[in-house]
C-alpha cells in the first residue's frame, strides 16, 4: 500500500471519528453521525486491506488475479448491468406507488432517478458505440 493511500485511509478514519464524536455531543445532527460512522468503517477497512496486501502473499496474489482476470471483469460488468436494470425497474414501480399514495415529492424523485439513469445509459451507449 502506497503512502498516499495510507494517508487517505487515515484521513477517512479521523474524519469519521470527528463527525461521530461531534454527533454524540449533539454538535451535529444524526445525519452526520451516520456519515461519520460510514467514513470510520471505510478508513478502517482500507487500512486493514492495505495491511493484508503488504503482509500476505496469498491475499496479494488473489487480489492480482481478481484485478486482471477476464472472468472477474465480465462478472463485475454483468453485475453492474443487473444492478442498473433492477434500479430502473424498482424506481419505476416506486414512482407509480408513490403517485397512487399521493406522495408527490417522492414520486418526482423516483421518476427523476429513472430519467437520469436512462439519460446516462443512452449517453454512455452512444459514446461507447463510437469508441468501439
pLDDT at 48 exceeding the cut of 80: yes
Give residues with Cβ within 8 angstroms of 29, minimum separation 6.
Answer: 23
Band (67; pLDDT cuts 50, 70, 90): confident
pLDDT attached to residue 63: 87
Interval 91-109 mean pLDDT: 97
pLDDT attached to residue 33: 92
pLDDT attached to residue 21: 94
Phi, psi of 103 (to 5 degrees): -100, 80
Which of 12, 32, 9, 8 shows the shortest CA–CA distance to 20? 32
| Most confident range, picked from 35-39, 70-74, 127-131 | 35-39
Q: Lowest mean pLDDT: which of 35-49, 55-69, 95-109?
A: 55-69
pLDDT attached to residue 69: 87
Quick one: CA dihedral 116, 126, 124, 5, positive or negative?
negative
Band (65; pLDDT cuts 50, 70, 90): confident
Please give the angle made by the CA atoms of 107, 33 and 38, to the nearest 5 degrees: 80
Q: How far is residue 52's CA from residue 60's CA, in Å, rounded to a whole number?
A: 8
Q: How far is residue 84's CA from residue 126's CA, in Å, rounded to a whole number?
A: 17
pLDDT at 1 exceeding the cut of 80: no
Amino acid at each position: 500500500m502506497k503512502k498516499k493511500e495510507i494517508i487517505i485511509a487515515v484521513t477517512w478514519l479521523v474524519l469519521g471519528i470527528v463527525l461521530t464524536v461531534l454527533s454524540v455531543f449533539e454538535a451535529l445532527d444524526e445525519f452526520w453521525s451516520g456519515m461519520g460512522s460510514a467514513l470510520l468503517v471505510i478508513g478502517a477497512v482500507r487500512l486493514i486491506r492495505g495491511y493484508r496486501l503488504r503482509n500476505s502473499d496469498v491475499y496479494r496474489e488473489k487480489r492480482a488475479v481478481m484485478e486482471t482476470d477476464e472472468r472477474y471483469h465480465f462478472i463485475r460488468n454483468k453485475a453492474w448491468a443487473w444492478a442498473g436494470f433492477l434500479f430502473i425497474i424498482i424506481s419505476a414501480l416506486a414512482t407509480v406507488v408513490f403517485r397512487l399514495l399521493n406522495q408527490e415529492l417522492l414520486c418526482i424523485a423516483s421518476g427523476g432517478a429513472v430519467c437520469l439513469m436512462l439519460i446516462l445509459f443512452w449517453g454512455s451507449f452512444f459514446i461507447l458505440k463510437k469508441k468501439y
